[in-house]
Amino acid sequence: MEKKYKILDLKINTLARGQKRNPDSKIQFYPRVVNNTNIELSDEEIVFLNKGLKYNLPCNNKYWLSNLTLEAEAAVMTLPFHEQEYVRYQVVHNLQKLYKRSTITEIDTDHLVCKNTRECHQEITNLM
């Protein structure tokens, strides 16, 4: 085992000696969002949009839990008959948890910003 660690230490030391260039710490990042419109966006909206699509959570529509219930029931119907009742019970239990959590929790700021941005977009498309 010691031999393995000695070999790894030698590799690290040779790589460290071979490193001639230090990484630049003065990298300037540019924002992803460039507002070319005459619409004023708040700082929260800019920060939200700069997160990019990968990090933005999609806003659930008004009937998301009903849609999820219908999709789950359709998935349960594809199972063999003898497994359906057990899986249906688990799905109902998990959906009840989601329902309780969705009515109790507060709406976070990202959801509000997403909603406001969507409303602004709707107003712009209506004007055009």
Give the start-to-end residue ranges of the domains of the chain.
Answer: 2-127
Is residue 60 within 8 A of residue 118, CB to CB? The reply is no
The 10s digit of each residue's pLDDT in 73-88 is 888 888 898 888 888 8
Any idea which of 11-15, 18-22, 67-71, 108-112 has the lowest mean pLDDT?
108-112
pLDDT at 122 over 80: no
Quote the mean pLDDT of the chain.
76
Phi/psi of residue 78, nearest 5 degrees: -80, -15
Output the pLDDT for position 105: 47
pLDDT at 23 over 70: no
